[in-house]
Amino acid sequence: MGANASTADSSLAIRARGLTKRFGELVAVDRVDLSVPEGQVYGFLGPNGSGKSTTIRMLCGLLTPTEGDIEVLGLRIPEQSEQLRQRIGYMTQRFSLFEDLSVRENLEFMAAAQGVPRSRTRARIDALVEQYHFADREKQLAGTLSGGQKQRLALAAAVIHEPELLFLDEPTSAVDPESRRDFWEKLFELADAGTTLLVSTHYMDEAERCHRLAILDRGALVADGTPAALTARLAGRTVEVQSERPRQAQRLLVDVPGILSVAQIGNALRVLVEDREGAQARVRDALRAADGEAAVEQVEPNLEDVFVDATRGGETHRELHPGDAP
């Protein structure tokens, strides 16, 4: 590796090249390249079965890749997985709590499991109880907590040993919107303190919050960049249709060549076109005969448009390296 590559990689918490995992004939992860900068919230967006969890398990050293090279926090994985274990945290949507233990007992157990020195354990738990708002619930059994409270406790347990890198696999799928919002505030507090976070999600609003984002589809990396960079690459390809008969207009548009998707949003239609050249004209022409009163105007693309384009075989997205992102 040349000097420039070495310098570029020095600020990466995770570097994976050609990462592949096969289970028999099934290719669960297909030649994925990842570069996760230190101190950022890096999102994994993709539908169920896209390979997000399998990729995270390989990066953690819990699953051996079929092919590819992984370096996490400067360590070769899976060869140095044991050294990595004390430096990372891992949280899944199942929350991994002992429901018949109290809030404090859960934290005490995790402190011991993660090798937190006994001399520091009490002060560390006291700090987490305060930070994660459990001062009045320390003795409450974890099994009796609400979904949002369980989520907060699981996060506190995952960071009790102050990991440099935190993996979160669909951590908000079982909680309400307010709890999700509060949870993300905690994640940004961790990032501000220097922790790198890799978060898998299938929520678009969460993906928009990430500093950087990768989209996985059927095991392949189909988009990678900042949310702003990824949406900017679709400029001119999204239009909105205002029609008095939106369902009829949708039926007219779905089979038009060059139109990738038509989604009804209230009384309007959001249309993603394959090519930015003449996008509005193509939609107007398709509607003119049957719905001449429909209004068609160009709108700003969003991450849902990016996701549709990337997962339906669009050629727009290629990996954007940190220096390329606006």
Tell me how far apart the alpha carbons of residues 246 and 131 are, in angstroms, rounded to a whole number: 49
| Mean pLDDT, residues 59-84 | 96
What is the predicted pLDDT for the residue at 324? 37
The phi, psi pair for 267, rounded to 5°, reads -95, 5
Could you give the residue ranges of the DSSP H alpha helices within 116-217?
A: 118-131, 147-158, 177-192, 204-209
Q: Per-residue pLDDT tens for 232-243?
A: 999 999 999 998
Q: Per-residue pLDDT tens for 20-46?
A: 999 999 999 999 999 999 999 999 998
Per CATH, is 3-230 categorized as 1.10.10.60? Answer: no
What is the predicted pLDDT for the residue at 10? 58
Res 15 pLDDT > 80:
yes
Percent of the chain's residues with pLDDT above 90: 69
Helix or strand holding residue 107 (H, E): helix 103-113
What is the predicted pLDDT for the residue at 291? 64
- For residue 25 the two structure tokens come to 């004939």
Res 169 pLDDT > 70:
yes
CB-CB contact of 155 with 145 (8 Å): no
What is the predicted pLDDT for the residue at 9? 55
Q: Per-residue pLDDT tens for 180-213?
A: 899 999 999 999 999 999 999 888 989 999 999 9
Tell me how far apart the alpha carbons of residues 158 and 91 are, in angstroms, rounded to a whole number: 6
Res 82 pLDDT > 60:
yes
Q: What is the model's pTM?
A: 0.86
**DSSP structure class, residue 326:** -
Per CATH, is 233-324 categorized as 3.30.70.100? Answer: yes
| Mean pLDDT, residues 112-124 | 96
Q: What is the mean pLDDT of the chain?
A: 89
Tell me how far apart the alpha carbons of residues 35 and 69 are, in angstroms, rounded to a whole number: 12
Look up residue 241 and give its amino acid: V
User: Can the peptide bond before residue 78 be classed as cis, meaning omega within 30 degrees of 0?
Assistant: yes
| Mean pLDDT, residues 300-315 | 84
CB-CB contact of 175 with 151 (8 Å): yes
What are the structural domain ranges in the chain? 3-230, 233-324
Helix or strand holding residue 68 (H, E): strand 67-72
What is the predicted pLDDT for the residue at 319? 41
What is the predicted pLDDT for the residue at 276? 81
